[in-house]
Structure 1
Amino acid sequence: MNREQVSGIAHTEHPIKSPLDDDSVHRLLERGLPRGDERVLDLGCGSGEWLLRALATRPQLHAEGVDISRDALDQAAAAATGLGVQERLVLHHRKAEEFVSAEPFDVVLSFGATHAFGGLLPTLAAARRHLAPGGRVLIGEGFWDRPPSQEAIEMLGDFTDLATTVDRVVADGWTPVDGHVSTRQELDDYEWACWGSLAAWALDHPADPDSSYALDTATIRRSEWLRAYRHTWGFVSLVLRRTPGRA
């Protein structure tokens, strides 16, 4: 069982691959898509959940998603067909950092994919290349809510605190026009859903050769969350516009 398969099972009950509940996703889309007829790009779209929700509620919207997972893109395509929005969705099977488009986009999304670009600022640099004048970026990033242990840093990465994270974004030429800091409930619900779904799959498929690996992985990841970073790691979602003369 590879990382992609683990992720697919783990997110069965939480298709938004970030610690955000449905109300928070809805609000961020409302702020990020004020007209409803935008051209939207999701860099690292996975199974396309952000785009599918936007397309389902905005009949004039057109969207494109980029991801390296063929399975995730197939899932997105099937869901789009089920929702009747497939004619307004284009999916690209390639690395998000290598994607090139002939036309700019009104909105660029990236949640749970900053690692693919090497961090927050490189992800924003990629978004900038695709963004039309006056466009918006919706991006999610982790931060340290409290000083982390070295163990937590080794697990999740060398984030900064929330204020410093936002300061870095502003210094890079962006103006936040809205945002959301995930609540403790959202953070906990996300972790319980991920590792609970993976554990449940293992218990439901005892004869599968990957069952033991899946159960062990769920147990390890749950323990890491509870012991190493539950009380130190946070997640912020930002709606950004380019600062005139600076980006």
Structure 2
Amino acid sequence: MDRQLLSAIAHRDHPIAGPISDDTLDRLVRRAALPDRARILDLGCGEAAWSLRALELVPSAVADGVDVSPHAIAAAQRAADARGLSDRLSLHLTPAADFPATQPYDLVLCVGSTHAFGGLKGTMDAVSRFVRPGGLALVGEGFWERTPDRALAEAIGTYPGLAGTIAAAESDGWLTVYGHVSDLAEWDDYELSWTGTLARWAAANPGPDGEHALAVMREHRDMWLTGYRGVLGFVSLLLQRV
């Protein structure tokens, strides 16, 4: 089974695809206070939970969602159809770094997808090319709540603390105007949904694919429970281009 399909299965019951509750997502999008006819770009959109909620809040807005996973794009299209928003959401199956924007956007989203641009600094540089002067970015990124041990840092990657993460986001013409640090309950809900949904699928699909999915689930769950739970944090920053 390919990694993108496994991810799509694991996120079926948690389409936000990150340690963020529905209420938090709603609050962050509302805080953007988007204008009428807003243009929204969702980089690494997954199932497009963020941009779909923004379209519901601003009935005259339009959005572009970009992702490399055909499974995520298909799920986003189904969600848009079900919510009557498919006429205002355009989906693009392409790497986020290759998306050829032709007009600036009022809000650019990149939540949990900064790896597409080589990290947070590269993401902010890319978003600067897409957003209009005075426009907004909503960026979600990991940070270390506590200093990890060496093995965990090598397994997950290099992150600063929260102060360093905000400083990196603001390093080149951006100002943080709001944000949210995911709490342990949001993390646990996300991880239990991710692992539980994948386990349930594996049980319903015995054979090589089910066994592989179960092995991936157990490896992920072990890394969470014995590694980064309470150590790795996640912050969603609403930033304004100044």
Shared fold (TM-score greater than 0.5)? yes
Distance in 2 (alpha carbons) for counterparts of 1:48 and 1:170: 25
Give the whole-Å Cα distance in 2 for the aligned partners of 1:223 and 1:81. 37
Which secondary structure state, in structure 2, belongs to the residue aligned with residue 66 of structure 1?
strand
1:89, distance to aligned residue in structure 2 (A): 1.0
Segments of 5+ residues of structure 2 without an aligned counterpart are: none
For the residue of structure 1 that corresponds to 2:170, the secondary structure is helix
Q: 2: CA distance between counterparts of 1:209 and 1:60?
A: 47
Q: Alpha-carbon deviation of 1:81?
A: 1.6
2:60 paired with 1:60 = yes
Letter in 2 for 1:192: L
Deviation at 1:75, TM superposition (A): 1.8
User: What is the 5 A alignment of 1:149-164?
Assistant: 149-164=149-164
After superposition, the C-alpha distances for 1:135-185 in whole angstroms (9 at most, x for unaligned) are 000000000000001122122210000011112222222100000000110
Contact kept? 1:33, 1:107, Cα under 8 Å: no
1:17-57 Cα deviation digits (max 9, x unpaired): 11000110000100124335310000111121111222233
Tell me the percent identity: 45
1:195 pairs with 2:214: no
Distance 1:236 1:10 in 2: 22
Aligned alpha-carbon RMSD (Å)? 1.2
Cα deviation, 1:180-226, whole Å, max 9, x if unaligned, reads 000110111111111111111111222x4301111111111101111
Asked if 2 retains the 8 angstrom alpha-carbon contact of 1:32 and 1:239, the reply is yes
Distance change (3 Å), C-alpha of 1:101 and 1:34: closer
Single out whichever of 68-77 and 219-228 deviates more from structure 2.
68-77
Q: Deviations over 1:43-93 (max 9, x none)?
A: 111121111222233211110011112222122122212211111111111
* 2:241 equivalent to 1:212: no
Unpaired runs of 5+ residues, structure 1, are none
| Preserved contact between residue 184 and residue 230 of structure 2 (Cα < 8 Å) | no
Q: Which amino acid aligns with 1:27?
A: R
Segments of 4+ moved more than 4 angstroms: none
TM-score (ref. length: structure 2): 0.96
Number of residues of Structure 1 aligned to a counterpart in Structure 2: 242
Other-structure match for 1:222 = 221
Q: Is this contact kept in 2: 1:182–1:235, CA < 8 A?
A: yes
Which range moved further: 42-51 or 20-29?
A: 42-51
